[in-house]
Structure 1
Amino acid sequence: MVGKRHRDRDPASEATIVDERQVRRAVAAAAIGNTMEWFDFGVYSYAAVVISQVFFPAANPTAQLLSTFATFAVAFLVRPLGGFFFGPLGDRIGRRTVLATTMVTMALGTLSIGLIPSYATIGVWAPVLLLVARLVQGFSTGGEYGGAATFVAEYSPDRRRGFMASWLEFGTLTGYSLGAALVTVLTVTMSQDDLLTWGWRIPFLVAGPLGIIGLYLRFRLEESPAYQDSSEQGEPRAAVRSFRTIFRGHWRPMLKCIGLVLVFNVTNYMLTAYMPTYLTAVIGFPHTAALAMVLVTMLLVMGLIVVLGHYSDRFGRLPIAGVGSVALILLSFPAFLLIGLGTTAAVVGGLLVIGLSLICFSGTMPATLPALFPTEIRYGAVSVGFNISVALFGGTTPLIAEALVAATGMPTVPALLLVVAGVVGLLAVWATREPAGRALPGAKPTATDRQEARERVEEEREREA
């Protein structure tokens, strides 16, 4: 009798039907945060040489750069604290409210860097205030990516989640490219004195308007359907009693999350944060030429992110991420040898090898990571796992790479970091269940119309059977 009632019930009533226009607005609102975050990183990476001269005492160039990259890395060390704070809060009071808070805090941190006086003006307080601003950025960013990925994943229909979520990373490289392009234009058009005196501040001051736009977009949205369903059942408030829920009950998916984020972010920061300086300090390119080559690489690969996101819905996330991991293992040293040839064509070719490996993760991870955890802990678990991994392995990549080159004198040694990351990524891919086309754990199947909803419910019933 129970089975008969189950069969007679309209399957569409057991699914969530979302409005595509609302999904697109959710994607735009979430992606603007990634765009702003990486606008700052693009600016900081491309202006690293200038920042080192503005905020740190004159010494040898290597010491200045290491100080700048240490300040870059320390923001990542505080990111887990932001993840621990904002992530469970997003599970408890809602994704939208917390994402609006992180947006404002992030914008203020970036804006403040553009207002800090130089070392020549206030001495040691200049690097101290820079450090404080970077800590504010890191803390707010700790709640940003996990929340944005969760928000988009919960809004997206199951069959298009990879494509929709991949726009987050398109926003990432868009922000990076805009920041990098702005610094490049300023470097080319301004005198060195003007750039050091006031020109470098312009990109950081742009964060204010970007933050207002992002805040407006996020407050226009409703909570994600999965969170609303979970809230009506009283699950979020009950589930987030302590971090034991995450670490004791879900430690296996947490390890998978950390491993997947490791390979993603070591590759990401090697290319975006370290390469502009590497090409100048190690290979010997003029700074402007180095900036331009990395920027060209970003522009060439960024459009493929959403293409891979689309194909991940058809063929799976894990095969694409696996290809990227294997590429890092086999091609990282050849890529650095190619870069070491020192010609423009060879350098761009080597950078493209790393860039094409990177987008295998950029196109798949935003949809893969939220699928590791159930709704009631998803924001918190993704934020904590993501930021632990980024703090330990991603944000420290430029600092470790620079230190390895300085210690060994081997220009190809940073490739070793990519090879190790590829091995870890391959193991994490092997251990993870394919999430493409499935409902998120703890959530109903999600579709864009009643027919698709019926099909999705029947598919889930067949899997359970």
Structure 2
Amino acid sequence: MSEYPSTQLPTAPKTSRRLRTEDCIVVDKRDLRKAQIGAGVGNFIEWYDIGIYGYLALTMTSVFTEGMDQRTGLLVTLLGFAVSFIVRPLGGMVLGPLGDRIGRRKVLFFTMALMASATTIIGMLPTAGQVGLWVLVPMYLLKMLQGFSTGGEYSGAATYVAEFSPDRHRGFWTALLNTGSQLGFAAGAAVVAVTTMITTSVWGETAMLDGGWRIPFLLALPLGLLAISLRKRIPESPSFEAAQEKADVENTNPIFVRQNLANIVRLYWPQILVGIALIAADGTSSYTVTSYMPTYLETQVGMATVYTAVATVVILLLQALIVPVVARWSDRIGRRPVYAVAAVGNLVLLLPAFALMHVGEVWSLYLALFMVSLPSAFFLALTGAAMSELFPTASRYGGVGLTHNLAISLFGGTTPLVSQILVEVTGNSYAPAFYVMFFSAVALLALLKMRESAARPLLGSVPVVASHEEAAALVDGQDTDERIDTSTMLLAPAPTVSASHASA
């Protein structure tokens, strides 16, 4: 099977141009660490916000939908969570191509500032008891601003780190973004739990409703300022800079040209469909663990908020440790086998896990959450690398931004709302499990059309290596290395040999 349908992704004709050691990008380890920290802090804050909103869902229902029936109010609150994902594709469509034009670093700086500002302002909104249900309008608008910024945040961070990482270790380095995401969500849940315990012990049982809920949101301001400070110091992606330098000289092949959104869809629709299928499975699985489980356990199982928050923090910390281990494994054996393990894991483990939840004991809660979170960790380990490997450098940010955000908006961010509706409509408490299992089955089918991309140079880029010795070894073995295809690389012209030197 060819790597891409020839009618969809034009490739340059095979060339006799050979790879030279000077063509390879040798990554500076200090710059790589700075890039990882600067990019990762944004994902941490993104999931911190998701965490606090998810764990405060019932409190937010009382605060912002006062006077409504509680069931209706909960759906309205969850709609506030989902509405931020409605505009995520718009953020990806605008910020992705912009990042391909002006650089990854500048766009990531903007997304961080916008995200931190919107989260902080939510913590300053009046309550429905003070101004009525009209407060839902600014809350939804702020959630939409968060969604717009997030539309460029993860796709930009994944693109940036993938282009900065040595090819043989790209899975590991990009997976650290999702480790940061899990830690961010865990931090959000922990802040909610600690805030609840402290405020209720000092001001009484209604402390969170009386204003304690604001504290986790207002903490986004100092976190955002720290993130902005870190992002000021990160360098631009070396692969992006190399492609920019050569694009004006060698731009006849479409994979080396910055494409607009319409051309990205026209040229790369097979990769987009594969990516959407994989992210749909990833998103439904991940958001069930992080954003719906608190509500599900409280409303369907009757667990107290503090118990679910503490249990999820423990599980997410464990997930954060598993993700880079699985990613390193995928660097060795490939992305496709690990994706298959993740999808099959959901098909096998979810129904027993949901049955364990309804036992209602603390031990069953922890075991059930671990069973739900394990396949999710496998999916998360691959997301950043696999999405970046689908598209060429010139249009990577735009391609990843469109694909990831469209799938997350349609299937990930709506998971809490859709899952709750399925439970309400069907009366079946296992409906959320079946919902996730369906998308895992679709992902297995998508794997049949996915190219293996682990440890290969990114499309449209030259090899990225960790040392000059690795570059020399790669060049020496290029004739027998199936991962090296110079037709997908922007290589500098070979040096000309003068007539006198040739005759000598």
TM over 0.5: yes
Answer yes or no: is the 8 Å Cα contact 2:259–2:395 preserved in 1: no
Read off the aligned partner of 1:37 and give its amino acid letter: E
2:132 aligned residue: 123
Match of 2:333 in 1: 315
Name the residue aligned to 1:436: 454
Equivalent residue runs for 1:229-378 within 5 Å: 229-234=242-247, 239-240=257-258, 242-378=260-396
Per-residue CA distance 1:59-101 (angstroms, 9 max, x = gap): 3321111111011001100100101110000000100000000
Q: Which runs of 4+ in 1 moved over 4 A?
A: 235-238, 458-461
State the distance in 1 between where 2:309 and 2:468 align. 50
The match for 2:64 among 55, 76, 79 is 55
Aligned to 2:219: 206
Equivalent residue letter for 1:134? K
SS for the counterpart of 1:189 is helix
Taking a change above 3 Å as real, the CA distance of residues 49 and 233 of structure 1, as seen in their structure-2 partners, is same
Secondary structure, aligned partner of 2:267: coil
| Structure 1, 213-222 or 136-145: larger mean CA deviation | 213-222
Q: CA separation in 2, counterparts of 1:392 and 1:227?
A: 30
| Counterpart amino acid of residue 395 in structure 2 | I
Residue 190 of structure 2 corresponds to 181
Alignment map for 1:404-443 (pairs within 5 Å)? 404-443=422-461
Is the contact made by 2:171 and 2:328 (CA closer than 8 Å) also made in structure 1?
A: yes
| TM-score, scaled to structure 1 | 0.95
What is the deviation of 1:459?
5.0
| Partners of 2:476 and 2:358 in 1: CA distance | 55
Paired residue secondary structure (1:319): helix
Q: Does the aligned pair in 2 maintain the 1:12–1:451 contact within 8 Å?
A: no
Closer, same or farther in 2 for the Cα pair 1:120/1:424, shift >3 Å?
A: same
Q: What SS is found at the alignment partner of 2:454?
A: coil
Q: Deviations over 1:409-449 (max 9, x none)?
A: 21111111111121122122232111111000000001121
Partner Cα distance (1:12, 1:428) in 2: 36
| 3-state SS of 2:124 partner | coil
In the alignment, structure 1 residue 450 sits paired with structure 2 residue 468: yes
Kept in 2, the 8 Å contact 1:150–1:379? The answer is yes
Counterpart of 1:67?
76
Name the structure 2 match of 1:156: 165
RMSD: 1.8
Q: 1:111 aligns with which of 120, 124, 127?
A: 120
Q: Give % identity.
A: 39
Which protein is bigger by CA-based radius of gyration? 2
Query: How far apart are the structure 1 equivalents of 2:257 and 2:114?
Result: 27
- How many aligned positions are there? 460
2:235 to 197, 222, 227: 222
- Is 1:197 equivalent to 2:197 in the alignment? no
1:172 aligned partner = 181
1:383 to 401, 412, 430: 401
Change (3 A) 1:6 1:75: closer
How far does residue 103 in structure 1 lie from its aligned partner after superposition?
0.5
In 2: Cα distance, 1:119 partner to 1:59 partner = 10
| More deviation, 389-398/189-198 | 189-198
Q: Distance in 1 between matches of 2:318 and 2:259?
A: 46
Using the alignment, how far apart are the partners of 1:459 and 1:401 within structure 2? Answer: 52
Structure 1, unpaired ranges of 5+: none
